[in-house]
Structure 1
Amino acid sequence: MSRNKSKKKKDFNEKKESKRGGKRMRKEVMIQSIVSAFQSSPKESFNYKQISKMIGIENHVQKLQVVDILYDLADDHFITETDRGRYRLHDLGTIAIGTFTRRSNGKNSFVPEDGGSPVFIAERNSNRAMDGDKVKIQLFAKRKGAEPEGEVVEILESKERTYVGKLQVTKGFAFLVTEDKTLANDIFIPKDKLKGGKNGDKAIVKIMEWPEGAKNPLGEVVDILGQAGNNTTEMHAILAEFGLPYKYPIAVEKAAEKIPDEISSEEIAQREDFRQVLTFTIDPKDAKDFDDALSARRLENGNWEIGVHIADVTYYVKPESIIEREAQSRATSVYLVDRTIPMLPERLSNGICSLRPNEEKLCFAVIFEMDETGIVKKSRICRTVIKSDRRFTYEEAQQIIETGEGDCKEAVLALNELAQKLRIARFDKGAINFDRYEVKFEIDENGKPLSVYFKEAKEANKLIEEFMLLANRTVAEFIGNPEKGKSKKTFVYRIHEQPDPEKLENFATFIRRFGYKLKVEGSQESISKGINKLLDKAQGSPEENLVETLAIRSMKKARYSTENVGHYGLAFEYYSHFTSPIRRYPDMMVHRLLERYLAGGRSAQKEKFEELCDHSSTMEQVAANAERASVKYKQVEFMSDKLGMIFDGVISGVTEWGLYVELNENKCEGLVPMRDLDDDFYEFDEKNYCLMGRRTKREYRLGDPITIKVVQANLERKQLDFMLAD
């Protein structure tokens, strides 16, 4: 049939429908409209005429369809007949309590506190609940084939939270425009609640109330971060978005200023004195907080005595002090792309506690005696005083390793040899070798990214890594594996559980398309060795980054716990975090517990420490997300002057809303939206990580090479938009 004839027929049908009284509504739309009508008035009864009017049906034939649908919904027990021909929503009387999750796309949900399945909450049924609120919901009758749905009937606990965005200020009022994924609505701000904010400022706003019937919540400005686009403003905005502090409380800094930096002769007398033993630090060139130092001396029997000396933070930070409470709350330092937000005040982190050269410092240490094969003959844990002879950067230490020349060369070369032996032994036992590069930016004085470079771990980095791993493991074994007759005591472990077998199987299935094989059955050691062989084989290939990324995704996340299950990735039966108390709160907990037990103290309260472990694990993840957001922001900023340029890349992510592409040249990642794949209708195949065209059967798979053009760089959303170059 020609297009002209088809149009005439459509026009004729529409005229016919209008004569009968109204335009035809598709059955699926009609069912959804009827369901919504009952849900919006759950306590009222309606007949088919009232329902037809409510959903805009005037056509007689379709009114009869409404009657049929009402019968079907009654059969499904979604509605119940109250009088002849009159129906109301079937009240199951099911009330549930749990957490409300708000989403800007309207896909709100409720998670019961007893751990049941999530329940969909339409915006009209959300009762203005905010993300994270504890709510009571009424479950609707469940329709066949539909997800469970409900309505918020009461907000039990309101989770106070703030939103970050840009102020739009007019003569009489203002709005905060936010890209927050948990809020679709802008926040209305009365003029007297602006706190001096101007148009275009980035601000933090707290919601005061959301009046019934109001489209927008009402808020007040908590803090002005500065003009949007300014580097410090944007970095502080990222911290605020993740609920992380961006400035230090004055009271905490004042408390730190009062801590004396002199070490008394009485304190030195109680410690092992390493001030005359060769000691040095090896750190990144821009580091100021030196947590760890290594001492090294050759013993008369030919063995080496290696000391891993860690800043004795808990000597200065006392339990229940204001500094302690702040450190506990933060739980970790945060490393954004251009700055560090320290867990401890700078007077401690960069001053008193930092193991700076030519300064006497107090440490908690593990001292090892090692033979030339890298075997630990004996070890001890003790408090020490040191005086670092030299501060090496990784680059300086690496030069000594490569040339055999430089300060402290005998000790550096000996430590490097021992570290390599420790590393080989670790991999022989099944440790997994994830040696990933870091994306770094060269940044000017205004924070503008000038270039991208990749930082790889060399021998100097691995030297430090191996001795820190050895110290952490030794401390965990000392408490977790006591001598016969002694009971185990509460301790803080860094645990990494075995991978989920299904995830590992899916990973093995996926990589077969690249010609790789992975055995997923057998001992932990054999599986780990198989993963290492796979990573070695993929090295240098176009899919190297993809294979490593998916291997990491198939693993569980490491976390803190008082229950020791070992560390799968490191192949350690016992492992803890002891070596970075300046930047990690769990290390402070470990220091305190060690001090207690070395003095013969009883086991600490397990529940208290488990709570602190959970908090530390959560904050570690939040900090990592903020760090990634800062890298993403700089990537978008770096690419903002490259619009229209063409780059080669690889598909790094496949989702129902499009393809993520990582550029080969600079590792910046952007999205090719689904709407721009307009040559076909593409369906998302989650299991095979691909989009497939329904008509053409064309596939876009994870790991495929692809050429794109840069279309948009949106700094507000931290998002790059690409389109296919061809």
Structure 2
Amino acid sequence: MLTSKTFLKKTKRGNILKIVREHYLRDDIGCGSRICKKCAIINENAILDDKLSSSISKAYVNPHYLIVDTNVVLHQIDVLEEDVLINVIILQTVLEEVKHRSTSIYKRLNDIINNPNRKFYVFVNEHHKDTYIEREPGETANNRNDRAIRVAAKWYDEHLFENQRNISLKKVIRIVLLTGDTDNKEKATQDGIFAASVEDYIYCLKDSKGIEDKLSKQEISYNEDSKEIFPCHLTPVQIHEGIKTGKLLHGSFQASKENFLEGQVNVEGYEKSILIQGYIELNRAVHGDIVALELLPEEQWSAPSEIVLQDDEVDNEEQIVESEIIKPKTVKEKTPTGKIVGIIRRKWRQYCGILQDNILQNSTRHIFVPAEKTIPKIRIETRQAATLIQQRIIVAIDSWSRYSRYPSGHFVRALGKIGDKETENEVLLLEHDVPHSRFSDKVLSYLPKLPWIISDEKVLNNINMFMNCLKQIAKRTDLRHINVCSVDPPGCTDIDDALHCNLLSNGNYEVGVHIADVSHFIKSGTALDEEAALRATTVYLLDKRIDMVPELLSSNLCSLKANEDRFAFSCIWEVTSHAEIVQINFCKSIIRSRAALTYEEAQLIIDDKKQTTVLAESLRNLNNLAKILKKKRIENGALVLASPEIRFYLDSETHDPIEVQAKQIRETNSMVEEFMLLANISVAEKIYEEFPEYAILRRHPCPPPSNFEPLIKAANYLGFEMDTSSNKNLARSLDAAQKKDNPYFNTILRILATRCMLQAVYFNSGMVTKDDFYHYGLAASIYTHFTSPIRRYADILVHRLLAACINADPTYPELLNKKKMNDICHNLNYRNRMAQYAGRASVALHTHMFFREKVQDEEGYILFVRKNALQILIPKYGLEGTLYLAPVKGGEQYVNFIYNEENHTQSYKEIVFHTFDPVIVQLSLDSSNIQHEKLIFKLVKPYIHNFSVPSVKQDTEKSQSNLNLSASEKRKEGDAFSFKSSSKKKKKMSKQ
């Protein structure tokens, strides 16, 4: 059946345009219930039960199916995920609205629908002849959809009743509409439909199983006498008008990790972020929200606070005097400062953390403390506090009233016991929004079937496999005769790249970079491709790896293992002995790696002159050419930066850290890096040449001059001048800054320089001007990522573009959709950033585990001097931590340090602390805060009376001396038993 609607539209030229819209209606769409005889023929996939023994609700006598509206799905998805709710009808109207308004909730709803045990049935009401309705004149789209839901619910109720005429009225299966809209509920009731709010329905369940804790409370009423804490947010119309007229700015709010009374908003067109200080000015913004803000008059501008808050201060934030924390006493370098006046888009998600102890017994109201310091505490209601108080839990924010100091939320689920390693890893992944659930069956269905073999010699007995093998080989350049090898970190199983180098008859070299051809297995538009695009990157934790693609690909079929035939994408250059490129060739290939080496193994082969094999000579030539390439890059302005990195050695059974040390960088690390960089640049040039509007590239923006201020000040103190006018001048300045008496000085300087940099990002070439393509850190005019497709989705896109360039594969339509590629690039940048943060958090977690029950003295250097603390770097472990220069507020003040804002120094009497100064600190783990274990840094040297602590060595010697004295005294008293006991203790201590 076809229905059509005709309407007239006036064009800009004044002409009248007649538009006809057609809508197809069907009478063969089943209701999905097994009880329905009328739909028996077309109800092949009926999943709704035909027999419900009794009602699960105390409020409804009849057994029933549920229909939910859009608001219920959007706001109560945590409740819908509970197994107690089954036999639910999801209308097409609702499904499409949810898809339009929230991708994440749409995905969660589909997961429920695809679970056969939940019996969620999708009814296509928009194409059913009895449930489709037209939008009436003057009716809003939202009101039309609400009416469509009521019409479908009414039809279902009557349709089912027709099939149950001979059944007792109390046993007739009815329809209950769950709605989050009071007006919709009243209209449904007037139409004779059973309707209820989710709250009312859940509270009437016979077996709620704590499900009421998961109810999202969108509106909380407050008394008229309630004190208003925050100003009202502007309405969307007011915000739009303010931005349009230039009175308001907008951007992403980033809360400070060191000071909960402070944050910043990144506004396009402003060199510096807009500073926000104070509870009122923050005005209920949560980290990540897109906010509207008003810039304050310049005389009210301030500067970021120099104070670092300790955890116990944050836990007692109500007692903190705001003026003491957020306002520097003297503001010399003001920065643009504003206040938040409205929220454009919330970025709320689910948060991990713990419940705060409640002094009121049997109270249902509790304070949740998030693990992430940028997130405020959240008020929740739960009747399970006694069980949850020792567990890590997940909570979601529902609302934040201007009458409440904290937002309100609801309990989602418990993760496990606090301190349990698996629980802490789960928290780490959730807090950094890392997709880590198992790959779905639909995704896995797109993997190749095993056995999967390339070599034609092994498949002669299988004619289909043999013919497929011949087709694949015919399309590719066979490079299995070349001595290719890979060089990676120890334990690497996802080997994306391999190298070779041959001396040519003309004296030049043939150098090849061979990259795993992941795009051969992941076709555009498949569920496997969509999952890889969502995950965007493999996330490396210290004790596990969260793969972007299933393990069959990442560690097996795509991984360039030794002595295995593999499909590759090869970039092959002819270069002179001076590393000058003569020509480049790109091809899809088949390779057979001769060896999978670690950096150390490759270095040993290069250094051992007795080894003269083809592989050894290849590695030496690659190493020599890499040195030339690196020298050229640095001469062009490429930066050699540094960051503290450590390597943990884990127990093979428990995976607990047993040893930690700073990572060693060898020549072979640089060798691999140089050829990967060369391949990425060469591929970037090729895809941009062929697809100037659609190339996926990577750029590194030049930092604004203000970013370099801490670096310049720190270097000036020791008499070194940092020229930051260009990357080339900065590189020269860093090279020149050397101190013979401090060999680690230059490394610290480069670490500080790294902190000044902006984030490198992926982008679509058609969305950015060519002048902005530049990669500041690499001094490259154009750059991309091609060399790690097993662990980066960006590389897969680049492979597809390059394959189209050389006619190895057809061009995918999606690759030429600038808007879609731009959206993908945004996700790539976000996931890449979160993966980096997750990796750092994993290092911090294992560092805490390593230092548990340990107290050690270590040499360190001052990285930053703050108003109340020193940031210390420990080179041995690559650790960074905070040494607070005063006890917690309210404690006894032992010494009065004087902070010099001009020179960024801290002093006490004749002792002055500057950036780069060496110190000796004592490291120990403070586990008093179960939410945030932290490394405690205490000063050992230079010694300050009543502030510094004795070294561990001194403490040990003192205890040994006391032990010997005690034994001597007891021997004089003739207490032989006590003497023997003391001797045993002494031996035990010496063993420890």
- The 3 A distance-change label for structure 1 pair 308 and 540 is farther
Stretch moving more, 401-410 or 621-630: 401-410
Task: Tell me, in whole angstroms, the C-alpha distance in 1 between the residues paired with 2:230 and 2:683.
Answer: 63
Instruction: Report if the CA contact (8 A) 1:639-1:713 is conserved.
Output: no
Task: Tell me, in whole angstroms, the C-alpha distance in 2 between the residues paired with 1:382 and 1:97.
Answer: 47
2:732 alignment counterpart: 529
Stretch moving more, 376-385 or 671-680: 671-680
- The 3 A distance-change label for structure 1 pair 352 and 178 is same
- The 3 A distance-change label for structure 1 pair 168 and 594 is same
1:471 alignment counterpart: 679
Matches within 5 A, 1:601-680: 604-643=816-855, 645-676=856-887, 678-680=894-896
Matches within 5 A, 1:21-36: none
Among 634, 640, 660, the residue aligned to 1:452: 660
Q: Which amino acid aligns with 1:552?
A: T
Instruction: Report if the CA contact (8 A) 1:438-1:456 is conserved.
Output: no
Among 589, 592, 598, the residue aligned to 2:800: 592
Stretch moving more, 509-518 or 283-292: 509-518
Stretch moving more, 578-587 or 657-666: 657-666
Among 261, 267, 286, the residue aligned to 1:107: 261
Matches within 5 A, 1:154-553: 157-166=345-354, 176-191=368-383, 198-209=388-399, 219-251=409-441, 254-257=444-447, 261-263=452-454, 264=468, 265-406=470-611, 408-434=615-641, 438-444=645-651, 445-480=653-688, 482=689, 488-504=692-708, 507-520=711-724, 525=728, 527-534=730-737, 541-553=743-755
Task: Tell me, in whole angstroms, the C-alpha distance in 1 between the residues paired with 2:727 and 2:278.
Answer: 46
Instruction: Report if the CA contact (8 A) 2:446-2:526 is conserved.
Output: no
Task: Tell me, in whole angstroms, the C-alpha distance in 2 between the residues paired with 1:227 and 1:541.
Answer: 45
- The 3 A distance-change label for structure 1 pair 419 and 134 is closer
Q: Which amino acid aligns with 1:355?
A: L
The alpha-carbon deviation at position 127 of structure 1 amounts to: 7.5
- The 3 A distance-change label for structure 1 pair 501 and 230 is same
Q: Which amino acid aligns with 1:702?
A: T
The alpha-carbon deviation at position 659 of structure 1 amounts to: 1.4
Task: Tell me, in whole angstroms, the C-alpha distance in 1 between the residues paired with 2:339 and 2:734.
Answer: 45
Stretch moving more, 170-179 or 674-683: 170-179
Instruction: Report if the CA contact (8 A) 1:655-1:684 is conserved.
Output: no
- The 3 A distance-change label for structure 1 pair 41 and 510 is closer
Matches within 5 A, 1:89-128: 107=261, 111=265, 118=274, 123=279
The normalised TM-score by structure 1 is: 0.76
- The 3 A distance-change label for structure 1 pair 110 and 653 is closer
Instruction: Report if the CA contact (8 A) 1:231-1:446 is conserved.
Output: no
Matches within 5 A, 1:43-62: none
Stretch moving more, 459-468 or 164-173: 164-173
- The 3 A distance-change label for structure 1 pair 550 and 308 is same
- The 3 A distance-change label for structure 1 pair 528 and 352 is same
- The 3 A distance-change label for structure 1 pair 441 and 524 is closer
- The 3 A distance-change label for structure 1 pair 249 and 479 is closer
- Cα distance per residue 1:442-489 (max 9 Å; x no partner): 122323222211222212222211211111111122234x4xxx8834
Task: Tell me, in whole angstroms, the C-alpha distance in 2 between the residues paired with 1:437 and 1:118.
Answer: 30
- The 3 A distance-change label for structure 1 pair 669 and 268 is same
Q: Which amino acid aligns with 2:601?
A: E
Q: Which amino acid aligns with 1:162?
A: Q
Instruction: Report if the CA contact (8 A) 1:176-1:189 is conserved.
Output: no
Aligned-CA RMSD value: 3.9
Instruction: Report if the CA contact (8 A) 1:501-1:520 is conserved.
Output: yes
Instruction: Report if the CA contact (8 A) 1:479-1:489 is conserved.
Output: no
Is 1:706 aligned with 2:898?
A: no
Instruction: Report if the CA contact (8 A) 1:593-1:604 is conserved.
Output: no
The alpha-carbon deviation at position 593 of structure 1 amounts to: 1.6
Stretch moving more, 569-578 or 252-261: 252-261
Instruction: Report if the CA contact (8 A) 2:863-2:871 is conserved.
Output: yes
Instruction: Report if the CA contact (8 A) 1:662-1:670 is conserved.
Output: yes
Task: Tell me, in whole angstroms, the C-alpha distance in 1 between the residues paired with 2:543 and 2:297.
Answer: 51
Segments of 5+ residues of structure 2 without an aligned counterpart are 1-225, 233-246, 303-336, 455-467, 888-892, 944-992
Q: Which amino acid aligns with 1:700?
A: F
The alpha-carbon deviation at position 435 of structure 1 amounts to: 5.9
Larger Rg: 2
The alpha-carbon deviation at position 719 of structure 1 amounts to: 2.4
Task: Tell me, in whole angstroms, the C-alpha distance in 2 between the residues paired with 1:418 and 1:516.
Answer: 33
- Percent of aligned pairs with the same amino acid: 30
- Cα distance per residue 1:685-722 (max 9 Å; x no partner): 2x6443356xx586322211223334652473252222
For 2:582, what is the secondary structure of its paired residue?
strand
Task: Tell me, in whole angstroms, the C-alpha distance in 2 between the residues paired with 1:197 and 1:317.
Answer: 45
1:722 alignment counterpart: 937
- The 3 A distance-change label for structure 1 pair 127 and 285 is closer
For 1:388, what is the secondary structure of its paired residue?
strand
The alpha-carbon deviation at position 498 of structure 1 amounts to: 3.7
The alpha-carbon deviation at position 661 of structure 1 amounts to: 1.8
Task: Tell me, in whole angstroms, the C-alpha distance in 2 between the residues paired with 1:110 and 1:660.
Answer: 22
The alpha-carbon deviation at position 272 of structure 1 amounts to: 0.5
Instruction: Report if the CA contact (8 A) 1:231-1:447 is conserved.
Output: no
The alpha-carbon deviation at position 627 of structure 1 amounts to: 1.4
For 2:737, what is the secondary structure of its paired residue?
helix
The alpha-carbon deviation at position 328 of structure 1 amounts to: 1.8
The normalised TM-score by structure 2 is: 0.57
- Cα distance per residue 1:561-583 (max 9 Å; x no partner): 33453323323222221101111
The alpha-carbon deviation at position 308 of structure 1 amounts to: 0.9
Task: Tell me, in whole angstroms, the C-alpha distance in 1 between the residues paired with 2:260 and 2:642.
Answer: 41
